[in-house]
Structure 1
Amino acid sequence: MKFRAQMKDPLYMREFQNIIATLSKLSKDCLMILGAQQMHLIVNEDQSSTSSPLVWVSIAATEYFPEYVMEAAHPDQDYIVLIMSAANLGRALSFLRGGGANSCKLKLQRIQFPCISVACSLLSTSSTEARDVLYDVPVTIIPASDWPTYVVPQVPPSQLALALPSLRLLRSLIDKLKNMSPSLEFQANSDGELNVVATSEMSTVTSRFKRLLPRFLSADSDRASCLVDSRKASAFFTALQLANEELTIAIDREHSIHLQIDVRKDVMLHSILPAVCA
């Protein structure tokens, strides 16, 4: 079983660090599924927190890693599946935040325990020579017999999807509305209008976003709505550390809302907010 990968582009290294920082704010554990061409990072709903949403990131290896090697334990296996502390991985990559890194290497190895070794080569302000920072993140290697329990989530079907060009207003709005109502209703229509509705015993507040770009519209539906937990919605937006502003909101009527951020062409962050009862 082998895995090693290397990043060299400063922008990609910062993006990768921001992705891990986002995940570390949502759950203590992170599932890493390493395929031959893709890396998946998943944080499931934290059982100790009712406000933690399901979030996962799919990364095409060639986008971030000019060097990427994965060899499973057996020739008939396609993956390596690991569980680790999202916070520990975030701390190991925190050196990339400042933008002074030459490279960052990830390697699966066993020292006294299985771990992902993170090696960052950093430029020094006081010297022309780079210094290396090493950090070993303990991991649990999941045996193939348990893989059916650890799978990449599937994007749910939807009747209507709209693209929101900036998530800043929505982030601020949901942060305020979560204190007003335990649930939020997202209503969308084919005219590119998104309504976010919060209802309490005293009042109903509706916030409207107009002239949004439809990303998807089913043939038999020109509107869709779904009621979700306001705390889970707020947790997702509060955790985001990515600079990308555009967000796609897809509604599977009365079942779930799928949120997607296209970090770049083949790097996507997803979250599913399940429907709640009114």
Structure 2
Amino acid sequence: MKFRALMQDPLYMKEFQAIVATLTKLAKDCVMILGSRQMHFIVNEDQSSSASPLVWAGIAAKEYFPEYRMESAHPDQEYIVLDMSSANLGRALSVLRGGGVNSCKLKLQRIQFPCISVIASVLTSSSTEAREVVHDVPVTIIPGSDWSAYVLPSVPNSQLALGLPSLRLLKSLIDKLKNISPSLEFQANLDGELNVIATSEMSTVTSRFQKLLIRTVAGYEQEASCSVDSRKASAFFGALQLPHEELTIGIDREHSIHLQIDVRQDVVLHSVLPAVCI
């Protein structure tokens, strides 16, 4: 079983760090699924009792890693699956936020324990030679017999999906609306309109976004709506560390809302907020 990956582009290193930092704010633990061409992260929480939403990220190896090598324990296994503390991984990658990082290697090793070693080559102002900053993040290697508990979530089939050009505006809005109502209703229609509604015993507050780009229409649906837990919606938006503005909101009527941030073409952050009964 082997894994090694190398990052060298400063922008890509910061994006990778921001994705992990987002997961760190949502859950104590995360699962890292390493494939031959793709890497996935999933927050590993009990969704029935947690206030955190279900969130996962898919990263095409070719986007971030000019060098990427994965060999599973057995020829018939397609992945390496690792369970780890998201906080430990986040701290190890925090060095990538600053300047002067020439490269960063990720390497699966067994020292006294299995770990992902994060090895950053950093230039300092006091020296012309780079120094290595190494963090060893303990991991639990999940055997193939237990992989069924770590299956990648599936993207819901949305009846309507709209693109929002301002992630920051919606993030600020939901942070305020969560104090009004325990649930938020999202309504979308074919006019490119999205309504976010918070209802309490005293009032109903409706925030309207208009002239949005329609990304998906399933069948002949004219509109779609779904109510979700306001705490889970706020947790997702509050955790985001990515600078990107564009967000796609897909509504699977009365079942769930799918939130998607395309960091770049083959690097995507997903969240699914399940419907709640009103």
TM-score interval for Structure 1 and Structure 2 normalised by the shorter chain: over 0.9
Whole-Å separation in 2 of the counterparts to 1:240 and 1:62:
24
Whole-Å separation in 1 of the counterparts to 2:184 and 2:50:
16
Q: Name the counterpart of 2:154.
A: 154
Whole-Å separation in 2 of the counterparts to 1:148 and 1:46:
15
Q: Name the counterpart of 1:233.
A: 233
Q: Deviations over 1:165-221 (max 9, x none)?
A: 011111011000101100000000010000000000000000000000000012220
User: Are 1:251 and 2:251 counterparts?
Assistant: yes
User: Are 1:267 and 2:267 counterparts?
Assistant: yes
Q: Name the counterpart of 1:221.
A: 221
Q: Deviations over 1:73-117 (max 9, x none)?
A: 001110000000000000000000013200000000100000000
How many residues matched? 278
Displacement, 1:241? 0.2
Amino acid at match of 1:148: S
Segment drifting more, 214-223 vs 66-75: 214-223
Helix, strand or coil for the counterpart of 1:135?
Answer: strand
Displacement, 1:47? 5.5
User: Are 1:54 and 2:50 counterparts?
Assistant: no
Q: Name the counterpart of 1:73.
A: 73
Whole-Å separation in 2 of the counterparts to 1:99 and 1:189:
45
Q: Name the counterpart of 1:43.
A: 43
Q: Name the counterpart of 1:107.
A: 107
Helix, strand or coil for the counterpart of 2:241?
Answer: coil
Q: Name the counterpart of 2:167.
A: 167
Displacement, 1:50? 3.0
User: Are 1:195 and 2:219 counterparts?
Assistant: no
Same amino acid, percent of matched pairs: 78
Q: Name the counterpart of 1:123.
A: 123
Structure 1 pair 10–266 and aligned structure 2 pair: CA distance change class (3 A): same
Amino acid at match of 2:110: R
Q: Deviations over 1:126-168 (max 9, x none)?
A: 1111111000000000000001111111101010000000111
1:14–1:99 CA contact under 8 A, matched in 2: no
Whole-Å separation in 1 of the counterparts to 2:167 and 2:45:
22
1:188–1:225 CA contact under 8 A, matched in 2: yes
Structure 1 pair 250–47 and aligned structure 2 pair: CA distance change class (3 A): closer
Structure 2 residues not aligned, in runs of 5+: none
Helix, strand or coil for the counterpart of 1:25?
Answer: helix
Displacement, 1:45? 3.8
Amino acid at match of 2:265: K
2:188–2:194 CA contact under 8 A, matched in 1: yes
Q: Name the counterpart of 1:92.
A: 92
Q: Name the counterpart of 1:32.
A: 32
Whole-Å separation in 1 of the counterparts to 2:114 and 2:139:
6
Displacement, 1:48? 9.2
Query: Over the residues paired in the alignment, what is the CA RMSD in angstroms?
Result: 1.0
Whole-Å separation in 2 of the counterparts to 1:15 and 1:95:
13
Structure 1 residues not aligned, in runs of 5+: none
Amino acid at match of 2:178: K
For normalisation by structure 2, the TM-score amounts to 0.98
